[in-house]
Amino acid sequence: MIIKALRFFLILLESQLLASKLIEGVERNSLSIKLLKSTTTNRFSLVADQLVDLECGPNTIRSDPPENTSFSTDFFLTGTQFLVKQDNPLDLENDLEGAILGVIANTTTAKYIAQRYPSATLKPYRGVAARVRGIQAVAQGKIDAMISDGILLRTEAQQQGLSLAEYPLVPEVPITCDRYGMIIHSNDPQWEELINSVINSPEAIALADQWFGSLYSYTQIAEECNE
């Protein structure tokens, strides 16, 4: 589903919808879109330093973004879950002392897990392949769980040929409720208004349903973390 998500935003950004709104709102006669790769390490600095106008990765909206950055309105809901081997369940109600937990470095999830399970050993993974390597480590028995947003874990596990039955996500209802937003510069209200209007537009909602409709059962579960 990561590929679907990327395609969704590429279609949205490159479509006439965004082009026409830019022309109308910013009085430009043309639109040129350039794509740059970002990581958990540089995603905020790319925007803060104005190297990019928009970062549209799986960014959890938080109340304290780095200086000169902000978030758009939310466009997806997920939450923190553990990818484990079916024969190696974890009792998340305990302190997980002795457990080795994979996390992605420099993320809100890593900070949260460190606070919630201080007795566990955290294994940080870095770079664009961090989640890939963490899930591989679970399959190889090197760590007890890989922890991240559930939808991203499930997508990557499927791409690695790991079945839901043998590699379940626990708990069923995520332990956190995380809304994704795009990273934007905090000193450009006109751009923020434009991005939010595109996210909330009927055309974007229709595209989201087209790409993410198959995730309905997952998003229903994710929404329970709000209740």
Strand partners, 81: 148
Per-residue b or e along 83-115, where b marks 16 or more CB atoms closer than 10 Å to that residue's CB: bbbeeeebebeeebeebebbbbebbbbbebbee
Confidence of residue 131 (pLDDT cuts 50, 70, 90): very high
pLDDT for 194: 83
Q: Which residues contact 122 (CB under 8 A, 6 or more apart)?
A: 101, 102, 103, 110, 113, 114
Q: Which residues contact 48 (CB under 8 A, 6 or more apart)?
A: 66, 67, 68, 69, 185
Q: Higher confidence at residue 182 or residue 39?
A: 182
The helix or strand, by DSSP H or E, that contains position 100, with its residue range, turns out to be strand 100-104
Alpha helix ranges (H) inside 43-177: 43-48, 108-116, 130-139, 150-159
| pLDDT tens, position by position, 75-110 | 888 889 999 999 988 999 999 999 999 999 988 899
Contact 207, 12 (CB under 8 A): yes
Proportion of the chain above pLDDT 70, given as a percent = 79
- 85: its two tokens: 């081997």
Instruction: Indicate the pairing of strand 169-170 with strand 69-71.
Output: unpaired
pTM: 0.74
pLDDT for 2: 47
Q: Which residues contact 174 (CB under 8 A, 6 or more apart)?
A: 78, 79, 80, 81, 150, 221, 222, 225
- Domains of the chain in sequence order: 2-74+180-226 (3.40.190.10), 80-170 (3.40.190.10)
Interatomic CA distance for residues 52 and 216, integer angstroms:
32
Strand partners, 148: 81
Please name which of 43, 25, 178 lies closest in space to residue 112, comparing C-alpha atoms: 178
pLDDT for 37: 84
Interatomic CA distance for residues 60 and 77, integer angstroms:
9
Three-class DSSP category at 106: coil
